[in-house]
Chain A
Amino acid sequence: MSAMQGLARIKVGVPGFDELVHGGLPEGRSTLVAGSTGAGKTVFGLQFLARGALMGEPGVLVTFAERPDDLIANVASFGWDLGGLVREGRLAIVDATPDTDAIVSGQFDLGGLAARIEHALSEVSGTRLFLDPLDALFEGFSDAVEVRRAFAAVLRALRPLGATTLIAAERPSEEDDATHYSVGEFLVDNVVLLRNVRSEERRRRTIEVLKLRGADHQKGEFPFIIDKAAGIEIAPFSPIEGSSVVSAERISLGNAELDAMCGGGMYRDSLMMLTGATGTGKTLIGLQFMVAGIAAGERVLYLSFEESRWQLERNAAAWGMDLKAAERDGQLLLISRYPARLGLEDLLVEIKHTVEEFEPMRLVLDSMTAVEHNSPAKAFREFSVGLSGYLKGRGVATMLTTTLPDLLGGEHATDLYLSTIADAILALRYFDLDSQVRRAMLVLKVRGSQHASEMHEYEILDSGLSLVGPIEGIGGIGAGRAEHATRTSNGDARAGG
């Protein structure tokens, strides 16, 4: 195993994919890219060739179904100038559309195909090879068994040339793991599945590495998008083992009392979740967290998915924060939009692009509840895991909010789920005591450090959030049924505040 891990890897050029296979596809090996019609097999393969050519690794395209001119035209919108690459000698195309008029009499092999691919590879000094789609080759001959045998011989003949090879093949259905002619499974080293299924009124694309001979890979399905301008991009996912360096650096939440409650602020590469009903001050805490970052000279990305830019600016101004100035200074990037219109994979990729461009040290997303709205549960889970893993991997301090539907507490499925990805959870609750509606917060967890374990009452003042103190002798707040166990010592003093 360890020797295999030492295999040289080829960067595929599909963002996110190389991480799935821990650094790229093993050099010189063959990979079956299987999927139903429209799953993105051709785009995947052409991206492998186009990006490879641009990285100084020329390639050969063998097309069994579409004429080269059609293929070139079809992918031009992705910004891949295949025609140009051919003219520059960085790509060769073998037009292998079968001659369906030919009559077959007796035994044959695919020597012509092998010779032409060899020739093309040597013409451009190619190290990448993509055959698309194998099914069309089979359809050109009546005897599938013979073609399979002959194609296996072609692969064997090409192997010494050392080109990293992708072979596209159709799957009859999304449920079936096998391809039509069981072409690749036995001949190739690796198998990658592309899926394209409808899920709750949305088209959902996923990619899965089914087999990677002699090497480790990420298991399971990962959502991906086909960007009209850039091709396939796999949504970010949890960083692989070894990349999760746990930071010991503490950063301020922008409120000394809150920092103290959390054991001295939050860890630099951690994710904090704020959960509470509307009006409990989640946005305020998010803004304070943002301001603390700006004060420390950091860039902050603020994603406002519930409040408009105008609302947020106005609310912030009321607490003495000038968002416009921070934006002018380039320390704040505020994006306000309603995420529901986008697929979650698209949203995730968009956030990733924004993070890569702006390089924030902190990120506020208000709220995850708006992201979840109308999204399939599975897609939301993948989004959450993908986002948190990606941000932690980049060491971005993150604050997410979720809105509880019930004003007086209670749990919510989203919270239960999100709590597993959060490093710290701050629960904000209303409680109703002696006909007064008051607010209390509880630190539910802070991974890797001591934190206050009691409920703290807090107030929202013009100056911001202010902690009143620990609440003693009141039970049932978390469940929305506060009642005196014993009388609080300073309850009367707070009543007017």
Chain B
Amino acid sequence: MSGLDRKSGRISLRLYVASETAPSAQARRQLAVLRERLGGEQWEVEVVDVFEQPGLAEADRILATPVLVRLRPAPRLSVIGDFSDSHAVAVALDLEEELER
């Protein structure tokens, strides 16, 4: 377990949301579920509202929201949508693999 904690600390995610739209709210919930399921308490997770921090959205060239971006480890990966299938998200961002490594 401690090994997992150490590994999970290497993961940095940023979730871009658009205020309180339904998909954005759903994405926040799904991310919480995912963290719990995968034991990602150590993940660095930042939630950014594009309307509050448009400069950050500009720098990351964000179009669609919600979008979950894996900032670390490289390469940078992203999943767009409300993560209705959290397993798919985990796979897409290689989160499980990172955890098992």
Interface string of B10-53 (1 = CB under 8 A from A): 00000011110111101000000000000000000000001100
**Is there contact, CB below 8 Å, between B64 and A112?**
yes
**Is there contact, CB below 8 Å, between B80 and A105?**
yes
Q: Which of B26, B63, B79 has the most CB of A within 10 A?
A: B63
- A103 proximal to B (CB < 8 A): yes
**Is there contact, CB below 8 Å, between B50 and A107?**
no
> Separation in Å of the A446 CB from the closest CB of chain B?
65
**Is there contact, CB below 8 Å, between A116 and B57?**
yes
**Is there contact, CB below 8 Å, between B64 and A102?**
yes
**CB within 8 Å of B: which A92-124 residues:** 94-99, 101-116, 118-120
**Is there contact, CB below 8 Å, between B78 and A99?**
yes
- A178 proximal to B (CB < 8 A): no
Given contacts A112-B64, A115-B18, A116-B54, contact A105 B78 (CB under 8 A): no
Bound-state CA distance A99–B79 (Å) is: 11
Kindly list chain A residues whose C-beta atoms are within 8 Å of the C-beta of B61. 95-97, 99
**Is there contact, CB below 8 Å, between B26 and A107?**
yes
What are 19 A-B contacts defined by CB distance under 8 Å?
A103-B78, A103-B88, A103-B92, A104-B64, A105-B80, A106-B82, A106-B84, A106-B85, A111-B18, A111-B21, A112-B16, A112-B63, A112-B67, A114-B51, A115-B18, A115-B50, A137-B63, A140-B63, A141-B80
**Is there contact, CB below 8 Å, between A112 and B92?**
no
Kindly list chain A residues whose C-beta atoms are within 8 Å of the C-beta of B82. 105-108
- A150 proximal to B (CB < 8 A): yes
**Is there contact, CB below 8 Å, between B81 and A108?**
yes
Query: What residue of chain B has the Cβ atom nearest to residue A113's Cβ?
Result: B63
**CB within 8 Å of A: which B59-101 residues:** 61-67, 77-85, 88-89, 92
**Is there contact, CB below 8 Å, between B84 and A108?**
no
- B3 proximal to A (CB < 8 A): no
- Once A and B bind, how many residue pairs between them come within 8 Å at the CB atom? 115
**Is there contact, CB below 8 Å, between A110 and B65?**
yes
Residues of B within 8 A of A (CB): 16-19, 21-24, 26, 50-51, 54-55, 57-58, 61-67, 77-85, 88-89, 92
**Is there contact, CB below 8 Å, between A118 and B51?**
yes
Of B54, B78, B83, which is within 8 A of A106 by CB?
B83
Given contacts A94-B58, A102-B67, contact A111 B17 (CB under 8 A): yes
Mostly, the B contact residues are mixed
**Is there contact, CB below 8 Å, between B63 and A110?**
yes
Q: How many residues of A contact B (CB 8 A)?
A: 29
Bound-state CA distance A120–B81 (Å) is: 24
Q: Which of B24, B26, B80 has the most CB of A within 10 A?
A: B80
Given contacts A109-B18, A109-B23, contact A115 B79 (CB under 8 A): no
**Is there contact, CB below 8 Å, between A105 and B85?**
yes
**CB within 8 Å of B: which A115-154 residues:** 115-116, 118-120, 137, 140-141, 150
Q: Which of A95, A106, A107 has the most CB of B within 10 A?
A: A106
Of B55, B62, B64, B88, which is within 8 A of A141 by CB?
B64
**Is there contact, CB below 8 Å, between B19 and A111?**
yes
Query: What residue of chain B has the Cβ atom nearest to residue A92's Cβ?
Result: B58
Given contacts A107-B84, A109-B23, contact A102 B51 (CB under 8 A): no
> Separation in Å of the A138 CB from the closest CB of chain B?
12
Bound-state CA distance A120–B55 (Å) is: 9
Query: Besides A106-B83, A107-B26, 16 other CB < 8 A contacts?
Result: A99-B78, A101-B78, A103-B80, A103-B92, A105-B84, A106-B81, A106-B82, A111-B17, A111-B24, A111-B65, A111-B66, A113-B64, A115-B50, A116-B62, A137-B63, A141-B80
Kindly list chain B residues whose C-beta atoms are within 8 Å of the C-beta of A94. 58
Given contacts A115-B51, A116-B54, A119-B54, contact A107 B81 (CB under 8 A): yes
Q: Please list the 4 inter-chain residue pairs (A to B) with the smallest Cβ-Cβ separation, ordered nearest first.
A: A111-B18, A112-B62, A119-B54, A111-B65
**Is there contact, CB below 8 Å, between B81 and A104?**
yes
**Is there contact, CB below 8 Å, between A105 and B21?**
no
> Separation in Å of the B32 CB from the closest CB of chain A?
15
Bound-state CA distance A114–B65 (Å) is: 10
Given contacts A94-B58, A99-B61, A115-B54, contact A108 B66 (CB under 8 A): yes
Bound-state CA distance A414–B93 (Å) is: 71
Given contacts A96-B61, A150-B64, contact A119 B55 (CB under 8 A): yes
Q: Which of A104, A106, A112, A141 has the most CB of B within 10 A?
A: A112
Q: Which of A107, A118, A120 has the most CB of B within 10 A?
A: A107
Q: Which of A99, A110, A118 has the most CB of B within 10 A?
A: A99
Kindly list chain A residues whose C-beta atoms are within 8 Å of the C-beta of B84. 105-107
Bound-state CA distance A298–B27 (Å) is: 75
Bound-state CA distance A112–B18 (Å) is: 7
Kindly list chain A residues whose C-beta atoms are within 8 Å of the C-beta of B22. 107
Given contacts A101-B78, A103-B80, A115-B50, contact A108 B58 (CB under 8 A): no
Kindly list chain B residues whose C-beta atoms are within 8 Å of the C-beta of A141. 64, 80
Of A98, A105, A112, A120, which is within 8 A of B65 by CB?
A112
